[in-house]
Amino acid sequence: MAKKLYIGGLSYSTTEDGLKEAFAQAGNVVSAAIIMDRMTGRSRGFGFVEMGTDEEAEKAIEMWNGKELDGRTLTVNEARPMENRPQRSGGFNRGGDRGGFGGGRGKW
């Protein structure tokens, strides 16, 4: 059964293909993904690699945790399941108090 690994400390220049190639040294890589920032389109410095078996995942952790890839030291461990997070409001005031935006003409 495939096991997903969290990869932290990635260089901004690391590509998904480069990540897949590096982790293939430990065994079969099912998938590799680098998480990108939606606003800038730049890497957020972490990603996930899914290894084919638990044994290959353990080998990848031993091989890459604390080691350097593309000039950065990696943190590699088993990925935790994604937790349900409360929906964010987006930082905007949704009605009620206008919060300082009420200036202008005729408000004297």
The reported pLDDT for the residue numbered 7 is 97
Q: What does the block give as tokens for 53?
A: 């078996």
Q: How many residues comprise the chain?
A: 108
**Radius of gyration, CA atoms only, the chain:** 21
Which stretches of 38-105 are DSSP H helices? 54-64
Residue by residue, pLDDT tens for the chain (108 residues) are: 789 999 999 999 999 999 999 999 999 999 999 999 999 999 999 999 999 999 999 999 999 999 999 999 999 999 988 777 677 666 555 555 555 555 556 555
Q: How far apart are CA 87 and CA 104, in angstroms?
A: 34
CATH 3.30.70.330 correct for 3-78 = yes
Rounded to two decimals, the pTM is 0.74
The reported pLDDT for the residue numbered 63 is 97
Q: How far apart are CA 101 and CA 74, in angstroms?
A: 46
